Amino acid sequence: MIDVTLRARILILFVFTLLTSSAVAFVLYEMYELGATSQVSKAKKLNEYVCEELKDKFDSALTRKVFDQSKETAFQSALLEIVLSRHEGVEGGFWSEPKGFLAYAYPTYEGSGIKTDVPSAERAALEKISKLSLASSAAQSSVHVGRRNSQIISACSTQGASSTVAIWTMSRVATVSGATSDNSRTAFNYLLAFLIFIASSGILLLLFWNQSLRKLEKTLVLKNQQALSAEKEAEAKFSRERRLSALGRMAAGFAHELRNPLAVVRLKFENLLVDPNSRAAAAAPLIFEQISRIDKLVELMLQSAQPFILNKEKIQLKAWFVSNGGECQRQAEAKHVSLIYSVEDLIVEADPFHLSRAIENLITNAISFSPEGSRVSIEAHRKENSLEIEIADSGKGISEKVKANLFEAFVSDRSGGTGLGLSLARDIIEAHGGRLDLAPSRPNSEFSGARFVIQLPLSSETKRYEN
């Protein structure tokens, strides 16, 4: 990972701010220009369209001889009034070389009164484009863009009753209102000033604060190292305390579990000392049973303390359950409990020895808690990308008082139980990258007692077994 210094971070921040502000300024300017250009383009197309409409109607009337030559100017004025009244903001007229301006109309004029005179300020521009249209016998347009307004003039030529005439149209587009233009220019200037300020501030900051930033960086690095060191020390201390606490609980549990069989053995030996001849036959089996219990307890403790070295291999799950279920089957038959298997044909990768230890512990517990004549369910199937093994019994279930610490050593709901079996089973499953959980019971089911679920990951090589 690249260590980005404080100076680099500040520089990146300034560059980012500068680029962002520049982008905003560019977008604002482009929007301003696009708005003005779009309005002017629309106005130009409208002018040319109106001019062609006037030309077509005038040519049609001339062909059909709708008016006399003496009334040509009057017809032109009437035509202008009719056509231009449908186009807001467009004024127009007729012009000829010998006579100049013939007719004029601006029916949508919003000022007071009726506008009948050709605008004096635009007369020269109108004459120029009319002459150009007559000389080229083609439509012409011109656009004059002002700071606040744009003026669009179009002209097209046609043959009048007595001479060639030009028809012109003119409109004005307020590209940006005066107040808006001033405000936009002011905002743009402020933004430009801000950009200059940001750039100059960044340069000055890097120049004059260079040494201070170096010292600050060293201080921050030192503080960060100290904080990390303190955090690691705290984690190590917590880990030590947790291990000691766990060791203390395990030692206390082991001592408690060991005390009971030792007390029985001691009592029997005391009885033997009083009357060895008559009591030896009755005491010997009990002493042997308690010694076996101590031996099993020590064996479980050793198993729990040993690290798991997994030797994984491919296991055909269904066949594996059949070949490894002998001991559990004997325990079940001794208690008149039936084991019901529902195992999907899968090939999985696991350590067969350790996996057998974990599952046998769970099945043994299920048999122990099941009443005589009941059944224990063992199911194994694929669930998405996991192998799920479920073991459920029809006993009374796990009591609430032990659920929270169920998988800790020496926590058991069964008289004479050590709780090491569940702890060992969880450690084995977690060593395989899986998890072992106590699932919610199913009260309305035959298997309404405890329900344990194992989830093991399936690698990409795992596949459904096919004969």
Asked if residue 2 has pLDDT above 50, the reply is no
Comparison of pLDDT for 20 and 88, the residue scoring more: 88
pLDDT 10s digits, 383-402: 888 889 999 998 888 877 77
How confident is the model at residue 140, as a pLDDT? Answer: 93
Q: Give the C-alpha separation, 124 to 156, whole Å.
A: 17
How confident is the model at residue 65, as a pLDDT? Answer: 86
| DSSP output for 202-261 | HHHHHHHSHHHHHHHHHHHHHHHHHHHHHHHHHHHHHHHHHHHHHHHHHHHHHHHHHHHH
Give me the percent of the chain exceeding a pLDDT of 90: 19
The one-character DSSP state at 416 is T
Q: Give the C-alpha separation, 303 to 300, whole Å.
A: 5
* Chain position carrying tokens 């062909």: 63
- Give the least confident one: 27-31, 138-142, 246-250: 246-250
* Chain position carrying tokens 């006993």: 395
How confident is the model at residue 221, as a pLDDT? Answer: 80
What is the torsional sign of CA 115, 116, 122, 125? Answer: positive
> CB of 41 within 8 A of CB of 154?
no
> CB of 424 within 8 A of CB of 302?
no
The 3-state DSSP class for residue 356 equals: helix
pTM (whole model) above 0.95: no
How confident is the model at residue 248, as a pLDDT? Answer: 61
How confident is the model at residue 445, as a pLDDT? Answer: 84
pLDDT 10s digits, 430-464: 888 899 998 888 888 888 888 999 998 875 555 44
How confident is the model at residue 465, as a pLDDT? Answer: 38
How confident is the model at residue 430, as a pLDDT? Answer: 87
How confident is the model at residue 205, as a pLDDT? Answer: 66
Give how far the C-alpha of residue 111 lies from the chain's centroid of Cα atoms, to the nearest Å: 59
Task: Compute the average pLDDT of residues 32-48.
Answer: 78
Asked if residue 1 has pLDDT above 50, the reply is no
- Across the chain, what does the average pLDDT equal? 79
